Amino acid sequence: DGGITQSPKYLFRKEGQNVTLSCEQNLNHDAMYWYRQDPGQGLRLIYYSQIVNDFQKGDIAEGYSVSREKKESFPLTVTSAQKNPTAFYLCASSGTGGRAKNIQYFGAGTRLSVL
């Protein structure tokens, strides 16, 4: 089955620790995205990548880092500089060409909490 796999489902971070959230897709999509979801708010864009070895900051990139070494993978690192990391993190991907590139498909999410 084609889709987007996020892991782990739940993650706990200690003070001063960096943690990495995994996102893998087998949809052959060029573009991938990371969003943060907080209660009562719309999804906010952290980082996005339209092609391998290239990525751009979104609206709330501070305290986060990403890499895009393979088309299938777009891991997100939440660094110790992110002072309020508790949230639900969603990874998405979209295709290229015509209207298909506008539709984003999402993974099941990772819930990050601070110990």
Partner 1 sequence: EDQVTQSPEALRLQEGESSSLNCSYTVSGLRGLFWYRQDPGKGPEFLFTLYSAGEEKEKERLKATLTKKESFLHITAPKPEDSATYLCVAGGFKTIFGAGTRLFVKA
Nearest C-alpha neighbor of 91 from the set 42, 50, 36, 29: 36
For the chain, give percent helix, strand, coil, nearest 5: 5, 50, 45
- The residues, ordered by sequence, that sit 6+ positions from 29 with a Cβ below 8 Å of its Cβ are 93, 94, 95, 96, 105
Burial of 2 (0-12, 13-18, 19+ CB in 10 A): exposed
Binding test (CB under 8 A) with partner 1, winner from 11, 27, 43, 114:
43
Examine residue 45 and tell whether it contacts partner 1 (CB under 8 A): yes
Examine residue 41 and tell whether it contacts partner 1 (CB under 8 A): yes
Examine residue 107 and tell whether it contacts partner 1 (CB under 8 A): yes
Binding test (CB under 8 A) with partner 1, winner from 63, 75, 95, 109:
109
Examine residue 11 and tell whether it contacts partner 1 (CB under 8 A): no
Examine residue 49 and tell whether it contacts partner 1 (CB under 8 A): no
Residues that bind partner 1 (CB under 8 A): 4, 6, 35, 40-45, 88, 90, 92, 99, 102-109, 111
